[in-house]
Amino acid sequence: MSERYDAVVVGASLAGCSAATLLARRGARVALIERRPNLTDYKRTCTHFIQASATPTIQRLGLAERIEAAGGLRNGLELWTRYGWIRPRLDEASPYPAYGYSIRREKLDPIVRELAADAGAELLLGQTAVDLVRANGRIDGAVVEGRDRERRELRARIVVAADGRGSRIAKLAGVPGRIRPHNRFAYFAYFRDLPARSGSHAMLWFLDPDGCAVFPNDNGVTLIAAMPTRDKLPEFKRDPEAAVLRYYTQLPDAPDPRTGTRISPWIGKIDVPNVSRPAARPGIAFVGDAAMASDPLWGVGCGFALQSGEWLAEAIGDALVDDDDLNPALDRYRRHHRRMLAAHHWMMCDYATGRPFSPVEKLLFSSAARDDETARLFHAIGSRSVPFQDRVNARLLARALRVAVTSRGRSPARVRPAVRALPG
């Protein structure tokens, strides 16, 4: 059995639903494939943090109202290094989005699927893409298999791979990912009724080279995580709660996990390699983690997913519904994706090796902790609201150097050494 669509989107999570929604609104006939059988299924391992860079996308999708109605929080990010806290002062006049959103995927994933279905995408749950259809030497759709083992051939001008870091569609298409090793691991758990000084803002501690993070979410649930270098893994495997507590009882301004109620087991993510691949080839495009999966320490995955879906729809939408040549449109998407995210990904991959801060990073962190303007630029860079290369430049370094010189003699707040060198 063969059916014809304009686009087949494989993966009905954030990236896939973003692309499917916006393509369907343009009038494209879209099949949205999801291997999980229920609308309410959701991704379980996530920071649930949507960076401010994705707020314009969320507003364009019409998601903001639905997120807030479900209890989602307008978030921000406060970042600590041994030079002190970086707390950007932002307002509505800021040229960059002032806030993102935090909402658990348990709530968000069903919302985005409903959004795509409301836009006219045909949501096919419990279907797994098992092969690609090829015609005249190019990709021409996908073969899906239901839980009853029945197969369907879905022909389309474009297949959108939104199936994650280990994309099966990428393997079928012969588009390998570039894998860069990750020398950290993560343990995290969910807590309820855990008071945090930062309110709805996430808190991130760079302990150079370890990291810790607190992510407040909807309905009083908070995710607490530790992300140390791999030499500390044996200690965490022996007793993850004790290992995490050894960090949090010494972090400046951190909530004490013992004052809340843990509502999940401690969850370990031991191997999370950084993966990237070209965002488009003839007949196929990659969005979300299928295009680029970066270090979860930075909380960028949800935002990148939503934005890449929007970028793809913007690039190919007209050509798709007008039956024009898709190759130039796909090339525009590939180049835009690379311009916006490649340098960010390179920086995150480099730091994921577990190395300590470089001299330039030390200068920038020190300046941002003391200077409002540098802190605002840090927000633009850290929230991925601008390409990395557009703001990390000679002008920023010159300002950071001036701040360092004029603030010489100030004593930065420092964490006790025991946090920075826990025994393995």
Same fold, 2-48+104-179+273-345 and 76-95+183-271+356-424: no
Q: Which helix (H) or strand (E) holds 412?
A: none
Ramachandran sector of residue 283 (left: φ over 0; alpha: ψ -120 to 50; beta: rest): left
Q: Where are the beta strands (DSSP E) in 277-362?
A: 280-281, 284-286, 292-293
The answer to whether the bond into 240 is cis (omega within 30° of 0) is no
* Domain boundaries, given as residue ranges, for the chain: 2-48+104-179+273-345, 76-95+183-271+356-424
Give the per-residue pLDDT at 1: 57
Give the per-residue pLDDT at 416: 38
Q: Are 163 and 10 in contact (CB under 8 A)?
A: yes
- Going by their DSSP bridges, the two strands 267-269 and 186-192 should be labelled as antiparallel
φ and ψ at residue 372, rounded to 5 degrees: -60, -40
Give the per-residue pLDDT at 72: 98
How far, in Å, CA of 182 to CA of 274, rounded?
A: 7
Across the chain, which has 424 residues, the per-10-residue mean pLDDT values are 91 99 99 97 94 98 98 96 93 85 98 98 98 94 96 98 98 97 96 90 95 96 97 97 96 95 97 96 98 95 98 99 97 98 96 94 95 92 94 92 81 41 37
| CATH code at 76-95+183-271+356-424 | 3.30.9
CATH superfamily ID and name for 2-48+104-179+273-345:
FAD/NAD(P)-binding domain (3.50.50.60)
Q: Where are the beta strands (DSSP E) in 2-89?
A: 2-10, 30-34, 49-50, 73-75, 77-81, 84-86
DSSP string, 238-272: H-HHHHHHHHHTTSTT---GGGSEE-S--EEE---
Give the per-residue pLDDT at 413: 43
Which 8-state DSSP code applies to residue 42? -
Give the per-residue pLDDT at 410: 58
All residues at 6 or more sequence positions from 122 whose CB lies less than 8 Å from its CB, including other chains: 5, 29, 30, 31, 32
